[in-house]
Amino acid sequence: MSDRIQAPRGTFDVLGDDALARDALVEAARRVLEPAGYGRIETPTFEATSLFARGVGESTDVVQKEMYTFDAGDSESLTLRPEGTAPVCRAYLEHGMHKLPQPVKLWYLSSFFRRERPQKGRYRQFWQIGLEAIGSDDPAVDAEAILLLSEILEAIGSRGLRLRISSLGTAASRTAYREELTAHLRANEDRLSQEVRERIDLNPLRAFDADHPGTREVMASAPLLLDFLADDDHEHFEAVKELLDAAGVVYEIDPTLVRGLDYYTRTVFEYTSDALGAQSGVGGGGRYDGLMEQLGGAPAPGIGWAAGVERMLLASPPPPVAPPPVDLYVAYATPELRVAAFKLAADARRAGHAARLELGGRSLKGQLKQADRAGARYVAILGDEGTSLKDMQSGEQKTVEPDTVMHHIRGGL
């Protein structure tokens, strides 16, 4: 016999109570996002590779090492989406959403793919709930987006949360800063990790992310971007903070906060949880005012975030999950009654009842046991002598006319 095939490394099946817990999480998110005016968007699972190369950035880990890219023939290169922001921006451009009232507010629940080393909380296929608000650079959009994430995390009872925020300024203020930072890194090059050394010119800000002890020492005395913000970036950041304060959102300012994707400008933020292990990022995001142009569109500012579904579940107590109720279980005594039983279950469903039909070929006793296990409220038993209905709560059982079963389910025996 050949080896059994297993799910690919870094992927997982969602079963039973886990599936119910996910549904509960998505429902909690929907209850926060939709009243705030966010509409649902779903984009394709794969996109042109150049969308991510240009959108997410050639120098990022995601683009350099983690993408599942394949040749789709006719020299077309496609990639399983590693993130959702670039696809949503592509859709905004493709559908002329700039003609809609701005900002356009969209949310998604999608699966994403990154070829990372799997560990607890880090998978190769994972799910995110995310939102993007495109077409306004008002700091209130930033503050509202952050507030909505905090409300979702609160609604699901996430533990040990910490929100860090910062501002990366605009490209112009970053250029001046990059020069200072690069000079600092060059001056201390011999103490840096090889990876950081190799990326000094490509992406010096990522050095703030390093775990390497020498690099961390060098970064402790590095110049900070927050001190280099242009006046309008500074004002924007102050306004975001004021709005968060007004809404009672607790945050820390972390001038070393760098996110792993290149498109960010101005506001960036990240929620971590100490209920998680090494992979402590629950959700994060920021503003990306230059991304549309990067993708070949007219300029349009945007901001958004994404939160990992698996990490939110890991950081929160399991939600109370209840199996769906069963109004009626249809059992039958002999195979000859299968058609009548099938029809009764179908009619009951059409009338709006949650009806189950015996499908396991069990004995009548086995069927009643199964009905009990399923938590059925009533069991209809079709027998050669007629139909009886059993109230599973009171234990009462009565012979009924077959066409009155529905009437009894509604009104009791």
What is the binding site for ligand HAM (CB under 6 A)?
83-85, 114, 116, 121-123, 126, 128, 130, 132, 260-261, 281-286, 304-308, 310-311
Q: How far is the CB of 287 from ligand HAM (least distance, A)?
A: 8
Using an 8 Å Cβ cutoff, are 257 and 165 in contact? yes
In whole angstroms, give the CA distance from residue 243 to residue 267.
Answer: 13
Residue ranges with strand state E in 135-210: 161-167
Q: How far is the CB of 100 from ligand HAM (least distance, A)?
A: 19
Query: Which CB, 57 or 121, lies closer to ligand HAM?
Result: 121
Residue ranges with strand state E in 153-290: 161-167, 252-253, 265-273, 281-287
Q: How far is the CB of 48 from ligand HAM (least distance, A)?
A: 17
Length of the chain: 413
Q: How far is the CB of 346 from ligand HAM (least distance, A)?
A: 41
Using an 8 Å Cβ cutoff, are 286 and 269 in contact? yes
Query: Which CB, 103 or 304, lies closer to ligand HAM?
Result: 304
Which residue matches tokens 């968060």? 244
Q: How far is the CB of 303 from ligand HAM (least distance, A)?
A: 7
Query: Which CB, 141 or 307, lies closer to ligand HAM?
Result: 307
Strands 104-113 and 125-134: antiparallel
Sign of CA dihedral 20, 26, 28, 34: negative
What is the H or E stretch that residue 139 is in? Answer: helix 139-155
DSSP conformation class of 351: T
Query: Which CB, 276 or 326, lies closer to ligand HAM?
Result: 276
Structure tokens at 299: 């300029």
Q: How far is the CB of 85 from ligand HAM (least distance, A)?
A: 4
Query: Which CB, 62 or 200, lies closer to ligand HAM?
Result: 62
Q: How far is the CB of 411 from ligand HAM (least distance, A)?
A: 50
Using an 8 Å Cβ cutoff, are 309 and 127 in contact? yes
369's CB contacts (< 8 A; 6+ apart) are: 362
Q: How far is the CB of 373 from ligand HAM (least distance, A)?
A: 35
Q: Which of helix, strand or coil describes residue 233?
A: helix
* CB atoms near residue 362 (< 10 Å): 13
Query: Which CB, 229 or 258, lies closer to ligand HAM?
Result: 258
Query: Which CB, 106 or 376, lies closer to ligand HAM?
Result: 106
Query: Which CB, 243 or 306, lies closer to ligand HAM?
Result: 306
Using an 8 Å Cβ cutoff, are 219 and 210 in contact? yes
